[in-house]
Chain A
Amino acid sequence: MSKRTAAALIAAGTAAASVAVVARRRSTDAAGSPDSNESRWRVVTIARPEAEVIVDGALPAPLIELADLIDVRTSAAPGDRGTELAARIRPNSAAGDHGDRVGQLRAALRRSKQLLETGEVATNEPQPEGHRPATPAGLLVDALARRSPEKGIL
């Protein structure tokens, strides 16, 4: 399957979860409010045209399960770099039982970019490894690595 075909299938499979793509605008949250960081726009640049990122209003598959929590917008990236796909936790949305919503959004944006650009998501699990003793330092490294897709500046 070509990467472009994979991207098209991703988009087609999301038609039922179509959401509105909101117009470009800055967050109006009060700076420093508890909500301001959570609802900041988080953006990835995808080396694909906008029409391949949001197809007929359908979100990339990894963002679908967050569709009721997020606003999404796209714009052409400067310098012919593709599409800027931005999403944020919708201001004043109920926390519900979603846990780390920002972390989930970061991971979903990263997976969306990978799927649209390469047709797959980078992974190394399972893979060969030697004996991993349950030392405090080792468990810390494991935890950091496991949660890494949800962490960072994005």
Chain B
Amino acid sequence: MKALCWTGINKLTIENVDEPTILNPSDAIVKVTMTASCGSDLHLLGGYVPGMRAGDILGHEFMGEIVAVGSGVSERKVGDRVVVCSFMSCGQCWYCTNGLTSLCDNTNPHPGLGEGLFGAPTGGCFGYSQITGGFAGSHAEYVRVPHIDTGAFLVPDGVTDEQAVFASDAVPTGWMGADLGGVKPGDVVAVWGAGGVGQMAARAAMLLGAEKVIVIDRLPERLEQVRSVIGAETLDYSSGEVMAELRERTGGRGPDVAIEAVGMEAHSERPDYVYDKVKTMLKLETDRPTAVREAILSARKGGSVFVLGVFGGVVDKFPLGAVMNKGLTLRSAQQHGHRYIPMLLDRIAAGEISTGHLATHVMPLDQGPQGYEMFKTKADGCVRAVFRP
């Protein structure tokens, strides 16, 4: 079958690879009908995340049709049209039964890597380096899905592939940021990043009752989507001072909840961006936390900051003093999608959450390398390149 493989830093190729097989009783094989590029893939593509191996199949945000199931599968069946959560959940360990599914104890075959880097391993994830298990990703014609009963969700009738595919990752990730960030009615929320996850976090905040939501980015086409599709305010960080602007728009308080949806390759007009750029080039830090710093410094006293963007290592000049002295609550996570996806699919079907507009470039998998190049360079207003294998 065809698959989009990482072959080195900023190198992708389409290769012919073996088809996946059932390995465990809980497994299923899914024929991929749509698979999306994600901003976190760019961290893998660019070599920022350790543990990538030439030949790895990328892709973690996807949907498709079940074509085979293992002997232990009871809830899902062949022929089901499903969206699959990007992180895997066994459904049995303490983390899974407490809604912290991306921390699943039983789905990562490479626990020592996560323990070495983070002190504990994450759960398994599709196409996301050896650290999350080294699983083959979804940018292929078929993908093996462990624990299909807990990880795959039926797509409601009337929901298109372009709408449903983002329920695999972007929508639940954004919802989690607003939910676990503690957004409540009357709040003012600021979201850093107007990509797919940032837009979904903004929409989630609105649905959870926020009275004002402000999304910060510099790309005009994304900011236009925020205004016209999501219905939130925007702030172009390239045309002004973000912290002062936020203070002005929040009655001098700062946002109650600050959601960072940018990650380790943040851009900024601030001088610390140059500092981080140099330090990462010299390998003196691994990630550029510019947006995290700004979120912490901008949040109101006693507010909360949720880090949705992906980080892989260590950062410098972290404003811990602001966290402590302003009494902030700082939270983060990879997405615990299993607790949200059924509800989110219903909201998508009901028209409460718009997602199809994110798929600005739909193309065959054969054009995967070109799609990622567009996505990376933001060419032609690309918000997400999505592929039909």
Contacts and interface: CB of A to CB of B under 8 A. Distances in A.
Contacts of A128: 1, 3, 17-20, 57, 136, 140
A120 B20 contact: no
Contact of B130 (A131, A132, A144, A154): A144
Interface in B86-115: 90-94, 97, 105-115
Contact of A129 (B26, B55, B94): B55
Contacts of B130: 141, 144-145, 148
Interface in A13-54: 45, 47
Interface in B106-141: 106-116, 119-121, 124, 130, 133-136, 140
B112 A129 contact: no
B110 A133 contact: no
Which interface residue of A82, A106, A110 has the most chain B CB atoms within 10 A?
A110
Given A151-B116, A152-B116, 19 more contacts: A1-B71, A45-B94, A82-B94, A117-B93, A120-B25, A122-B109, A123-B24, A124-B109, A125-B23, A128-B3, A128-B20, A129-B55, A130-B5, A131-B54, A138-B54, A145-B130, A150-B112, A152-B112, A154-B115
Nearest to A106: B112
A120 B24 contact: yes
A148 B71 CA distance: 28
Interface residues of B, number: 55
Contacts of B147: 118
B41 interface: no
Contacts of A152: 111-112, 114-116, 121
A127 B142 CA distance: 11
Contacts of A145: 51, 53, 110, 113, 130, 134
A122 B20 contact: no
Q: Which 10 A-B pairs have the closest CB atoms?
A: A151-B112, A152-B115, A130-B5, A130-B55, A148-B112, A148-B110, A152-B112, A132-B55, A128-B17, A130-B15
A42 to B, nearest CB: 12
Interface string B1-32: 10101010000010101111101111000000
Interface residues of A, number: 41
A143 B95 CA distance: 29
A153 B115 contact: yes
A92 interface: no
Which interface residue of B26, B51, B90, B121 has the most chain A CB atoms within 10 A?
B90
A62 interface: no
Contact of B26 (A120, A126, A138): A120
Interface of A: 1, 3, 45, 47, 81-82, 106, 110, 113-114, 117-133, 135, 138, 141-142, 144-145, 147-154
Nearest to B147: A118
Given A131-B7, A131-B15, A124 B115 contact: no
B106 A124 contact: no
A118 to B, nearest CB: 5
* Chain A residues touching B, majority SS: loop
Interface of B: 1, 3, 5, 7, 13, 15, 17-21, 23-26, 51-57, 71-72, 90-94, 97, 105-116, 119-121, 124, 130, 133-136, 140, 144, 146-147
A30 B131 CA distance: 35
A120 B112 CA distance: 19
Contacts of B13: 130
19 contacts: A45-B94, A47-B93, A81-B94, A113-B93, A113-B106, A119-B25, A119-B72, A122-B109, A124-B23, A125-B23, A126-B18, A130-B3, A130-B13, A133-B55, A135-B54, A147-B112, A149-B111, A151-B116, A153-B120
Contacts of B24: 120-123
Given A47-B92, A47-B94, A131 B23 contact: no
B30 to A, nearest CB: 13
Contact of A117 (B7, B51, B90): B90
A48 B21 CA distance: 30
Contacts of B113: 144-145, 148, 151
Contacts of B140: 128
A100 B108 CA distance: 22
A9 B262 CA distance: 48
Contacts of B134: 124, 145
Nearest to B113: A148
